[in-house]
Amino acid sequence: MIRSASRGPDRSKRGGLQHAGRPGFAWSLPAVAFFTFFALLPLAVAIYLSFTKYNGIRLVPPRFVGIDNWSRLLTDDALHRSIGVTIILIVLAVATQLPVSLLIGVWAAGPQRMRAIVVALYFIPLLMSTAAVAVLWASLADPNFGVPAALNGILGPNNAFSNLLGKPATALGLIVFIYLWGASPLHTLIYQGGARAIPEVLYQAASVDGAGRVRQFFSITLPQLRNTMVTSTILMIVGTFTTFDLILILTRGGPSGGTSNLPFFMYDRGVTALDFGYGSVVAVVLIVLATVVSIVMVRATRYDEMQGTQEGL
């Protein structure tokens, strides 16, 4: 009622103006060509290679071996563990990054100058290269010269921190923590933007109705941030799916394969072992898994519909 007069031209349920000045197919040619050459074509080659034996020597072209590589899928325990590690990493990454960046993002959206300064400091990890970060954390986690050595004085020798990279659980935990430290500032930024876009009038109305801060957070902020949350979560999942550099430098998949996720496993089998056939099988598995996860996410979150959160305002 209050704002109905200011509503713009009629929008369909899908949001956005339908067909307003939308260009023809020709406009998308550059993007389509790029996508074809750098995504679809390599994908096709990977699928082809997955049915061949190829050890990287050009003089001996890939030899077709049928489903030999694929038949290893079911029996390769290392691959299965690797899929498990990938899923655990994703679950832990989302479970830690989402609440932290949501809360800090909403807090940072406030107008106070002090908050801006704190947040600026908080964003520093965003500016660092992952390779540098991995080397830095490797030094920090060193049991004899890093942080664990300092903790020995407080917690006694052989405490939970003294063998961080030597046990699968703690090594995974450390990786999740480094993700949280390195990636959550980006998501905080996204939530901060989202929270600032929530109309002040909603909070004013809630205050008048007697809602406290907690109630306002759950009844206004969270629902209003729904689309932001979906976007940010998809970025988190996709980012964690492809994590490679950190694992290569920090743990090289160890200890005993405990941190070998699918991208690292693919590198290990394909590039290190020079078995491009099986490496391509792992790559295709990665694609299929990522596709399934993407479709489920898009379905579950109705990302494709993306209804506005401010209808009726």
Partner 1 sequence: MKNLRGRTRVLALGTATAIAVAGALVGCSAASGTAGSGSGGNSDRPEGEIHVLVLGDAAASAEEAAAERFNKTSDVKVVIDQGATAGSDYQAAIRNSVGSASAPDVFMSWGAANIQPLLDAGALMPLDDFIKDDPKLKSSFLPSVFNEEVIDGSTYGIPMRGVAPTFLFYNKAVLKAAGLEPATTWDELLSQVDALKAQGVTPLGLAGADKWPTQMWYQYLFAREIGNDKVAAGLAGDGDVWASDGSKTALKKLRDLVGAGGFGENYDSVTYGTDGSAALLRTGKSAYELMGTWHFATIEAGDADFVQNDLGWTAFPSVDGAGKAGEIAGNLSNYYNVAADTRYPDTVRDFLKQLYSDEFLNDQLKLGNLPPTENAASLIEADADLGAVNKDYLSFVVNLVADAPTFQLSWDQAVPAESQTPVQNAMADYLNGTIDADAWISAMQDATAR
In the range 139-178, which residues lie near partner 1 by CB under 8 A? 139, 141-145, 148, 158, 162-167
Cis peptide before 255 (omega within 30 of 0): yes
Task: Find the helix or strand (DSSP H, E) in which 33 lies.
Answer: helix 29-35
52 DSSP β-pair partners: 64
Which of 54, 82, 187, 221 is the binder for partner 1 (CB under 8 A)?
A: 54
Query: How far is it, in rounded angstroms, from Cα 276 to Cα 119?
Result: 45
Kindly indicate which of the ranges 107-115, 122-130, 196-204, 288-296 contains the residues binding partner 1, using the contact rule CB under 8 A: 288-296
Query: How far is it, in rounded angstroms, from Cα 226 to Cα 224?
Result: 6
Cis peptide before 23 (omega within 30 of 0): no
Contact 240, 259 (CB under 8 A): no
Those residues whose C-beta lies under 8 Å from the C-beta of residue 18, and which sit 6 or more positions away, are 12
| Residue 119 or 286 having the CB closest to partner 1 | 286
As measured in angstroms, the least distance from the Cβ of 171 to partner 1 is 9
Half-sphere CA count of 65, side-chain side, radius 13 A: 19
> How many residues in the shown chain lie near partner 1 by CB under 8 A?
76
Kindly indicate which of the ranges 56-64, 81-89, 211-219, 221-229 contains the residues binding partner 1, using the contact rule CB under 8 A: 56-64
| Residue 104 or 168 having the CB closest to partner 1 | 168
Which of 3, 7, 17, 48 is the binder for partner 1 (CB under 8 A)?
A: 48
As measured in angstroms, the least distance from the Cβ of 92 to partner 1 is 18
- Provide the token pair at 81: 């563990």
Q: If you compute the radius of gyration of the chain from its CA atoms, what whole number of angstroms results?
A: 24
Chain positions 181 to 240 lying near partner 1, rule: CB under 8 A, are 234, 238
As measured in angstroms, the least distance from the Cβ of 313 to partner 1 is 26
Which x/- pattern, by CB under 8 A, does the window 83-112 give for partner 1? ------------------------------
